[in-house]
Structures are given as C-alpha cells and as structure tokens.
Chains A and B, each alone.
Chain A
Amino acid sequence: MTEYILRRILLMIPVLFGVSLILFALVRVLPGDIAVARLGTEASPELVRQLRAELRLNRPLHEQYLEWLWGALRLDFGRSLWNHRSVRDNIAAALPVTLELAVLALAIEVVIAIPFGILSAAMQDRWPDYVLRLFSTLGLAVPSFWLATLVITFPAIWWNWAPPPGVPGILDQPDNLIKYLIPAACVALSTSAIVVRLMRSMMLEVLRQEYIRTAYAKGLTGRAVLVRHALKNGLIPVVTIIGNQMGFLLGGLVIIEQVFALPGLGRLALDAITQRDYPQLEANVLLLAVSFLVINLVVDVMYGYLDPRVRY
C-alpha cells in the first residue's frame, strides 16, 4: 500500500506539469488582457502598452512560463496583477472559507444522503421510497442558487432576519457556523440528491445478491444485514462520487459564495477570470488540480478498506 501511494504521488508530478503547461497557454490565449481590463474605458493603446510593460507581460511567453513555474515550485505564485496582493495570501484568505463551506456541505450530504438512500432501497415502492425519490428529484431539479435566493429572501420578509454578515474564522468565533450552515445546506440539497439516488440503486443491486439472502436465512436482523453486509459493498461507487464532489465543491461554489457574500475560492477565481489576472487564475486552477489528484488518491485508498478484494 505504501509503495502504491508513493507511486501515485510520483505520478502526480508529470500530471501537474502537463496541467501547468496547458493552463498557462490557455489563460494567455484568452482574448483581452489584464492591461485592457484594468484601464477599462480609460484604455488607450499607449497606456495599455505602458501597463503591459510595467506588468512585464511584454516578454516572450516561454520566459514568463519558466519564471512562473520556478515560483510555483517554491509555492511563490507572485502577486496579483489586479490588486498587487500576494497570490498566496489571497488564496490563504479564501481557502478556509471554501473549505469550511465544502466540508460542511459534504457532511450534511453524507448525513442525509446515505441513510435516505438505504431507507429508500429498504422500503422500495412504499411511501418512504416515494417521498425520498420526490426529494431527490426536487434536489436535482432545483438549482442551489435559486434555493439560496429563496432562503435569503423569505426569512427577511417574514421575520426580518438575514444571515449575519462578515466571515469570522471558525476558531475565532465558533458560532460562525450559522453563517455557513445555510449555504452548506443549499449546496447539500442538490449534491445529496445524486447520492441518494446512487445509494438507493446500489443498495437495491446488493440486496438482490445471494449472500444477502443467506444472511437473512441464518437469522440476522434487517438492520444487521443492511449495515454490516450490504452497506459496505453499496458504498464503493458512492465514495467515488462523494470524492469527486469534494473536488467540485472546492472550485464550483461561485454562485453560492456570491449570494451569501462569502469570499471563497470560487469568487476569487471568477474575479481572476473576469479581470484576466493571470497569476491568480493559474494558482487557483493549479490548486484545484492538486485537490482532485489528492482526493482521487484518498478515494482509491478507501476502496481497499471497503472491499478487501481490492489490493494494491
């Protein structure tokens, strides 16, 4: 196992190199550049030329790439071309916000989706199954940003209440959970819908296996059969999906962050795209690539735990 993990870590290096190369090229071929974006309506060819020179963007691309790569290897991503702050500091400020939101959303999802999926399968074609299927269909159909807008608007209209502003760190102010709980629940509703449906279909498949019939035949209770025998096998694809969802949540919470005024990685990346802030965008995407690689590794390692037949 240790050898497998080490091999996978080593394999990450060429993958990340490839990602960095493609990313750098793609970002630079986007039409419009940071100098134009910064100067806006005041842009003139002369000022744009001058600003590009000040930002050192008039150098050959390979030179810029090598400089950026050398910095990235030392975890120094330079300064934002938009606001001159350190890219690393910008990420360090935004990462805890997104991480707390994503972890909380995932926790809610796991707490809701896995029991609901099991229950739906166990009560197939009975009213709890219908209700849960309706819930999961609604979860898939209702966009989280729309739900978020309703969740913000209605309490304000009915009870003159809105989630508190500001984003204190969880260590500074543990009750900041209230700020994160509502957006996390909005995200979790749609992500858990997928997991409920997957969990249900996997459990139904597992519950038809011979060894489950044998377990009942030898007198085990329904709960013991479900939890000790069926669940572990049913979880394998679910873990893969949840792992992938974690990756997506780290970069895909743009709209939720926007609606709830949470300055997370999604907003940072969106601003970087709009502003053509190359160093910030490159660092954000690289961080996302690393997250996916790490999450995939963790998921693969978990397979071995869930299914003893899987050996590395």
Chain B
Amino acid sequence: MNKRLPIGLGFILLVIPCSLLAAFTHYPAVKALVNSMWNNASSFRPSKFVGFENYEAMLADDRLSQVLLNSTLYAIGTVPLAIGLSIGMALLVNSKLPGTWLMRLSFFMPTMLPLVAVANIWLFFYAPGIGLASQILSSFGLPSINFLGRTDTSLVSMMVVAIWKEAGLFMIFYLAALQGIPANLKDAARLEGAGSVRVFIDVVMPLLRPTTIFVAVNALINAFRLVDHIIVMTRGGPNNSSALLLYYIYEVTFAHRDFAYGATLTVLMVVILGLLAALQFWVLNRKAHYQ
C-alpha cells in the first residue's frame, strides 16, 4: 500500500506541473466554449453575449461544409491507404530478400523529415513544367498537370504527401508486431498445408489487429492535427478545395482575425476528436468481448 501524499510535497509534485498542463489544455478548451457564445470586440464596442449566434453562423457556413467534406475525404483517403501500404512495406522489409536495408531507409526517410521540409520537396515535385511529376508525364507524351492549382487534384495531391510522410512510421510499428509473432504458429499452419497467402490472412492478420487499432487511431488524429503541408503548399486553395478543418481555424482566426468564430470552430474540433475517441473506446471494448 502506498503512503498518503503529504500536502506540501503534493503541491510541488502535482499542483505546479498539472496547472501548467491545464492552463494550455483544459483551460483553452473550456474558454473556447465560453468565447464561442460571445461576439468579437471592436474598438468602439466591447464583446457581448450572443448565445448560439456563432453556432447558427456555423451551420449556415458553406465554406465550412466544404472544409468538413474535405477533412472527411482526407481522413478516409489517407488512413486506410497508409495502413495498407505500411503493412506491405513491413512484410517486404521483414522478408529475407536482398536489399532490405535500402528499402527500410527509403520507406523511413520521409518520416524523419519535418512536414514543412516534406511540403517543400513535394511542392518542387508537383511544380508544373519543372517538377518531376510534369517531366514524367511529358516523357509519356502527356500534357503537364498543375496538380496543386486545380480544384479536382489539389486535395488528392495533399493526401499523397500525407501518406508518403506517414506510412514509414507505421511500418515500424508493424515491423515490431511481425517480429513478435512466434515462428511456430506459422510453421504449424504450413504443416497443415496452408500457402503463404493463407498463413498471412489466417495467422498473421489477426495477430496484427492491436497494432492496426493503435495505428488507425494515431493516423486519424494526425489527419485532423497536421496541416503544415496545406499552409506551405496550397493555403487551402484553389477555391477551398484543399482546406482542412484545422487550416480553416487558422485562416479564420489569424488571417480574418475572427477570434469568436475561431473559438466556435475549435469547439467543433474538440467535439469531433472526442467522438473519435469514443469510437475508439467502443471498438476496443468490442474487441475485448470477442476474446
């Protein structure tokens, strides 16, 4: 049994660090909720309580519905693809093929680079005329495409960047999981006549499930949390086609100086992340019931 925490010690151990943490996590979350019910102050009138007016504006905001659609497509487009690719990469790197170190380096390199650097690299890659993408297209006799400058390609181009940056990190988790699978399980399946595809689907895949849940949750949170590449590469454009929710919060607050609406959107963001966490909880609990 642990000792009771003396008050004086508790003050130093808990109160100081935790209040610092709360000051930049819980306090802003609550303050966003409060501020979302007030309008912006200006030089000739102070801010006043407006109830749910900001939320009504939010529901009527066409740009926001575009942004939410983008965010959803972005999450649906990046998370499963990054997971699938990273499993494939982990299997390749884990195999006894020659040159695995080169693959490991190539797959993992993007993870080490800051997202801003990744954005610069891809900005160059996509650059019409000069970039490698255009040069490859023109070597096949195709016209060059302005990937970032078209409404129908900009969001997909951003997804490619995100997948390129993240798949290597997820590969590391899968590699760890693969190396933790006992060889005798696979051997037993092989003795019973299972081919390598069957072994993968019936033995390896179920054992990778905890890793997949962990990776999926992280990938999903990252899909909402990381917008550095949007800021550097497209600024949400053209015509909002690549704007994600956090980027929109950034633009509304710091370009348009609309802090009240920024607070309202922050509340929306916290609610979305909370729902995703609840979903995660539910999925994990369901898994526990099956075991």
Same complex: no
Residues of A within 8 A of B (CB): none
